Chains A and B, each alone.
Chain A
Amino acid sequence: MNKSPEISAGSPQEDETLDQDEFFAAPPFDLLAVPVLGRFLKWRHSRTWLQIPLFLISMVMILQGLVGMQISPKNLATVLTWVHFRGALVLALLCAGNLFCLACPFMLVRNLMRRWIRPRFAWPRALRNKWIPVVLFALVLFAYEVFSLWSSPWLTAWVILGYFAAVLVVDGLFTHGTFCKYVCPIGQFNFVAATASPLEVTVRDHEVCDSCQTRDCIRGRRAPSSDLVVLQRGCELALFQPAKVGNMDCTFCLDCVHACPHDNVGMLSRLPAGELMADPQRSGIGRFSRRKDIAALTVIFCFGALMNAFGMVSPVYAVESWMEKRLRIANQVTALGLLFALVIVIEPVVLLGLASWVTRIAAGLKSGLLTIGVRYSYSLAPLGFGMWLAHYGYHFFTGLYTIVPVTQNAFAELGWPILGDPRWTLVGLPKTFVEPLEFGFLLLGLAGSMLVAWRLAEEDAQEHPVRAFAPWAVVCLLLFLCSAWLMTQPMDMRATMMAG
């Protein structure tokens, strides 16, 4: 920040300016430097101790989902999965970072398996991208609607079991963090959302890394007696700390923190979504502008948020019914499939294609339409995250206390009613509190997306950044208005397969 030469020494204005200088020059907040918590996280076994409770909870969810009362609002499998887990996940991403991946129960089982089973294969080079998770993510969203997963404890339990099985198969066969990096749809959701998180696992002092000879953060810490013995593994997702930028592909596993012999990796604060405002070379990823797969993931993340919310409100009936009549579609599943294709494929292609075309013409850019579209599609990540926050936050807050009667009920079902009769009147926070919060999340997302698009436009069209910015601002505004409209619609929790 420049100081004004007119300001005399000791004036209040100068004091204020100096305070601001000090503020911006201050070292970032480091979660790992916080007493007790930081020490715990730096402990080598901290992740395991965070994973164990989630693993035990997931076992209880599976058990009650399979054999418990098959009424969704009364079963731990459905309540914890679709109300509390999803809500806590996005709120943790908003307030800190990718904490679910840090405490991932699937990785606990996988790490245990790898004590006995060593994977022998490398993930095929052709699949080292996000195309598989893009498809899986879209399929998960579609399956959620088609099978009404929220209304079936039994199916929800099988989804969790299937996830455990998939992790064990993939990481039992393939080396490193293959499942996390190239398969896991939840992980990809977290990676995109975490680009807007305020914390990042990163290097504290790059000069220390410059003089580092061992590179333990990626190679792992080896035994002095033999280089083949790994005492502490390094990053399994191929993120080399000194060249790592942002949260993409970072599971917050803290392996690099534990491996670094110089205690030079922290969990530092940063500008949320700041990593989307530039396009540096990223370790393990490359440049965002050259990653069509990650751009597609971001687009599905954003438009999937719209579709996921749209599938839960009354107007979806009217659209489905119109499609059934006009297109003579006999069943609801096909209609829903077409609706999905329209919202998460055709709509973004048309919208982003048009925005790219206008950007190219108005700002006089020489890049191709696809290049422009890929570059600016990342600006949609904060808005998409705002939509997910609004949606999942709504269910989380309005159903916050339901965990109490559902847990009481679970104990009662076991014939062990130590927590008393279920208090079904306990539900959650009132809508008058939650609805403004929803709009706040949406506005936050809109502001983040606008800022990212503006910074990219400034770089692309230095003379007339508004010309490059305007088309993307219109796209963001349209998506925001759609989301805001969705939030005002009456919810309609249909169960497609059962009703069909």
Chain B
Amino acid sequence: MAHPGMAPVFSDAREMAPGNYESSLNFNMGGDWVVLLHITLADGRKIEKQIDVKGVQSR
């Protein structure tokens, strides 16, 4: 959630096929979200990726 102070949502990704990972996230609030991927590669290196998800609407 783009607003500071809001509860983050966590989820682990599962490997569905080689190199293919899936996870589900519950965007529990309308607004702009930031999805942060914390990835540990096979050789132990850690990388971070950011995906912006804008304009999530409340139900």
Contact = CB atoms under 8 A, between A and B. Distances in A.
Contact of A314 (B5, B30, B32, B50): B30
A122 B10 CA distance: 57
Interface stretch (A15-23, A260-268, A424-432, A435-443): A424-432
A402 B29 CA distance: 18
Contacts of B25: none
Contacts of B32: 151, 493-495, 498-499
Given A499-B54, A499-B55, A493 B34 contact: no
Nearest to A406: B4
A83 interface: yes
B4 A79 contact: yes
B31 A494 contact: yes
Interface string A75-86: 100110011000
A87 to B, nearest CB: 9
Given A71-B34, A317-B57, 15 more contacts: A78-B4, A82-B3, A399-B6, A424-B10, A425-B8, A425-B10, A427-B6, A428-B5, A490-B30, A490-B58, A491-B3, A493-B1, A494-B31, A495-B54, A498-B32
A425 to B, nearest CB: 7
A493 B54 contact: no
Q: How large is the interface on A (under 10, 10 to 19, 20 to 34, 35 or more residues)?
A: 20 to 34
Give the one of A73, A399, A427, A498 with max B CB within 10 A.
A73
Interface in B36-59: 36, 50, 54-55, 57-59
Contacts of B17: none
A376 interface: no
Contact of A73 (B8, B10, B30, B55): B8
A126 to B, nearest CB: 40
Top 3 nearest A-B pairs (CB, nearest first) are A399-B5, A493-B31, A492-B30
19 contacts: A73-B4, A73-B5, A73-B8, A73-B34, A75-B4, A79-B4, A150-B2, A314-B58, A398-B6, A399-B5, A425-B8, A427-B5, A491-B31, A492-B30, A492-B57, A493-B2, A493-B3, A494-B55, A495-B31
B31 A492 contact: yes
Interface in A388-442: 395-396, 398-399, 402, 406, 424-425, 427-428
B16 interface: no
A244 to B, nearest CB: 37
Contact of B5 (A148, A402, A425): A402
A150 B3 CA distance: 6
A151 B31 CA distance: 11
A494 B30 contact: yes
Given A71-B34, A490-B30, A495-B32, A150 B4 contact: yes
Contacts of A129: none
Nearest to A394: B5
Contacts of B29: 490-493
Give the one of B4, B7, B34 with max A CB within 10 A.
B4
Interface string A139-171: 000000000101100000000000000000000
A493 B6 contact: yes
A424 B11 CA distance: 13
A72 B10 CA distance: 17
A79 B2 contact: no
Give the one of A71, A150, A402, A493 with max B CB within 10 A.
A493
Interface in B1-28: 1-8, 10
Contacts of A494: 30-32, 55
Contacts of B50: 71
Contacts of A73: 1-6, 8, 34
A476 B24 CA distance: 45
A424 B8 CA distance: 7
Interface string A220-234: 000000000000000
A491 B34 contact: no
Contacts of A395: 5
Nearest to A401: B5
A298 B8 CA distance: 36
A191 to B, nearest CB: 26
Give the one of B2, B36, B55, B58 with max A CB within 10 A.
B2
Contacts of B3: 72-73, 82, 150-151, 491, 493
Nearest to A402: B5
A495 B54 CA distance: 8
A314 B57 CA distance: 8
Contacts of A314: 30, 57-58
Interface string A293-307: 000000000000000
